[in-house]
Structure 1
Amino acid sequence: MIATKLVFSSLRRRPTGFIASFVALFFGATILMTFASLLDTRAAAGPEAGKTLLIMACVVGGWGLVIVLFATLSTLSLLIRQRAAELALLKSVGATPSQITRMIVGEAAAVAVLASATAVTPSVFAGRWLVGLLGDTGRVPAGLAARFGPIAVSMGTGITLLAALTAAAVAARQVTGQGAVEAIREAGVDTRPTGRTRVIGATAVLASGLGCGVVTMTVFTGNEPALMAIGGQGAILAAIGFALLSPALLGPIAAVLAAPLRRAGVSGHLTAAHLRVRSRQLAGVLVPIILFTGIATGTLTMQAIENTAGTAPAKIASSLETLNYVVVGMIVLFAAVMLVNTVVAAIVERRREFGQQRLVGATPSQVLRLVGTEGAVLVAVGVLFGSLAAAVTVVPYSVARTGRLVPEQALGFHLAIVAVAVALTLGSHLGAAAKALRTPAIQAGTRG
């Protein structure tokens, strides 16, 4: 009963965290239900159409599932880590680890159920649109009626709920595993090393991505149907691997950048300090930047290479191009939404910090410069590793299809995607900070 009251009290008093969690789970559930609805439609389709729908749902939807789960877990973990001080205070006044765990898991479950229910309506229309597109491109019979039924609802809701509960349980374990005094001390200064399990998992995923690149470049001759499937997986796996390693990567990079940043003035000095003592929290912002840059650059450039060097009949090539752009577009759009959502959630929760800085003499413009400098560093690091992830697909695919190490299409796509990543990251950083600064300094600086 106490845990239930805490759940609803926390959701009511922390609207920013609630909205950020809801957005992540809503968009994730929408993508999952959209692709899962193809399995409902398959029941009424013929053998050939059913095979196409099954492949589309399992292969393409499967990669969408991996990306959605990873991004959702990352966002929810970041939001829960931001509450370390609050949860530590609960422990200091007598809350047991099981009560705190039930509160965190209960919050995640409530938001996940609401997000899944809200995602049903847009998923119905998205599923119809996707089946219609498959019909227009000749992948299934034209006029095939789209169905949205129990498979879509159960898979979308179940996986979304599982992702939310898993993230909540993992984050709760980290919080409740510490003593109250230690948790309060580390709430603002979190320099713990990245866990061994995470490093091992990230290394394995990254190695798998590199393996896809090697196979693409050395095994295939350039005309096999599986070339795009294997090649495209390289960037996705590499992006996820780098994103998992982001807390471990940001620490050494912060040490290298410390001296140049300090020469940039007060904002640079504070940025260097924040990168050093809050690397785990700031690394959460790197995840969507790496995913967006890596997946978008890798897959879109791969399709551009195929358009130039493709040998398939024009009609088939056009159909595949349309489907690839649509599928990639959905995943990249999700990554872009998660980027903005994560940045806004991370910045808005720092209102108290901004208020305290203003109370000791910092002007709003100085706070904005601090946030802008942090954002610039994070987007530079995220773009760097996202670009490396994209290269795992672009370079091997270019060698296999054209014999060239660097395709001529790469630079244009890369610059456009980097420009979007920079605009989204800095725009959301400065926009959220400007909104947070509207709160009077005294009110913000003393708010718990």
Structure 2
Amino acid sequence: MSRIAVGTADFKRTNRAMFFGGFSCFALLYCVQPLMPLLAHEFVLTPAQSSLSLSISTGALALSLLVSSVVSDRFGRKPIMVAAMAIAALMTLACAFADGYPQLLAMRALLGLALGGMPAVAMAYLGEEIEPASLGLSMGLYISGSAFGGMFGRVLASTLSDFLSWRVAMAVIGIAGVLAAAEFWRSLPASRHFRRGPGGLRALAGGLRRHFGDAGLPWLFALAFLLMGCFVSAYNYIGYRLLGTPYGLRQSVVGGISFLYLLGIFSSVWAGKLADRLGRRGVLWLVMSVMAAGLALTLSHALPLIVLGMALFTFGFFASHSVTSSWVGRRARPPQALASALYLFFYYLGSSVVGWLCGHLWAWAGWNGVVLLLGTLLGGALLIARRLRSLMPLDPAASLAAAT
């Protein structure tokens, strides 16, 4: 049975569903990011403590990814993804009624555990069902949904919390997540190329050996940790900077910086197409350099230059993520869901660990301290990208772009 190709009805249905899936995952996960200063004020927290509302979710998500990949190899892709989206949406709705910060953290941890059944399984589904020549485009469209969800969740949370309350914001976003799960279930075609695999710890251990024994996948996993850690940390603390002196912006205005995610919607699709055509090596180096240049520009004290820097940083991140995630999908061998899960395990682990560390650097040296750490990590990521330029394709007979 042929795989899903560009221009077909199933391709449109798949990408519509995956857009809603990426939208829901990022909106539910990151809607608390602009609320951190408000949570710190209401519950009397330090910036590092308030960042736990996000870090505990991404940490739980990272841990659950490995389990969910093995479960989906046994029970199928679509049922696991639908359940993950629905449970995470209900947990977000429940957060609106939290009695205290510990209870809020507990529900955010459960949200992260539930969402483990979405991103890696989605990457595996696309790798199995979409024809290889169209995978970069399809992955880019999924990531563009993630970018839109991240923007929507942040902007809506900022606006509603500014004029109503953070609890109303969480409730509204939870309801939006329920609707997105329903549309995902309605639109996504059933798997046609899924083959039930073995479950259990033995299958997990064998898959780990296979993927970590690959010459390229461990480096792509490391890139996931570094890139996502940098991206989330920058958005975690830019709000503190712009709310404070000398800028003193309103909560809703600071949340509006998330409109820059619209650049990610464009750059993820653009980079996916470019990588399909030219190969991932050179494209990855280019877009990561844009990300680093944007970070450096945020050191300016002029607000327009800070916004421009965040724009370049956002553009470069989503383009980089599109290239690296599709590279994993092209390079991975069975069990593919585990390879996707490992990529995203390090992706969300970077968000949790680096985001927490930057809270302490913010307390020590403000934005300059945050940029010092993030710049160092991006420098390491560029060195890895340089190393990947010499990575041999899996199939020597294939062209460079098609093989990797």
What TM-score, normalized to structure 2? 0.31
**Bigger radius of gyration, 1 or 2?**
1
Flag the structure with more relative contact order, 1 or 2, with Cα contacts below 8 A and sequence separation at least 6. 2
